[in-house]
Copies of this chain bind each other. A is one copy, B any other.
């Protein structure tokens, strides 16, 4: 379970997409949300767009691994697709905020790797937040304050990657994923493999 978090405007969504394209062993966890769909977004790819009533029902039914409220909208990770993917031995990528990360950590401490993506500069962060034309100035200002607040949570993450260059940042996230796959504690079957290496009877030379 790999979590990517970042303030809005750090380029995390592009990073997630590129990571998924280049790695066949990882599946994206698609969140459910009560916020309105943006023009470029696709139902089931970017989010499952649900009504506040439906979201409330899912919370009550225990359908979420984690859920949180951000900017008066609710976001949640549906449990079943994640369990199915993990059960098939796949890795799962979560594009969630620090609140969701905290909740996931409580449930899956050993099996969770968390990466915080930072924008390269204050100016670039501001530029990217303004670039979303469909948002009002009011929303941009709120986002900037929210970004500062999100960024303050970086020490809660295992890794920090500065997105100064998309290819470099992608390389780093891929390295983190590859390294964690090699981490001893996550290796299933190493003991059995070692037993085949260390046979009691050594063939005489």
Spell out A's residues near B (CB within 8 Å). 115-116, 118-119, 121-122, 125-126, 130, 137, 140-141, 144-145, 147-148, 151-152, 154-155, 157-162, 171-172, 174-180, 182-184, 187, 190, 193-194, 196-199, 202-205
Collect the chain B residues with CB atoms within 8 Å of residue A202's CB.
126, 141, 144-145, 148
Interface SS of A by simple majority: helix
Collect the chain B residues with CB atoms within 8 Å of residue A199's CB.
122
- Name the one of B122, B140, B161, B194 contacting A196, with C-beta atoms under 8 angstroms: B122
Whether the Cβ atoms of B178 and A159 lie closer than 8 Å is no
Copy number in this complex?
A: 2
Q: List 10 A-B contacts (CB under 8 A).
A: A126-B202, A148-B197, A154-B194, A159-B179, A159-B182, A159-B184, A160-B187, A176-B182, A178-B179, A179-B179
Whether the Cβ atoms of A182 and B196 lie closer than 8 Å is no
| A130–B116 alpha-carbon span in the complex (Å) | 48
- Name the one of B115, B116, B172 contacting A178, with C-beta atoms under 8 angstroms: B172
Pick the most buried of A141, A155, A172, A176: most chain B CB atoms within 10 A of its CB: A176
Whether the Cβ atoms of A171 and B176 lie closer than 8 Å is no
Closest 5 CB pairs of A and B: A175-B178, A179-B179, A175-B175, A176-B179, A148-B198
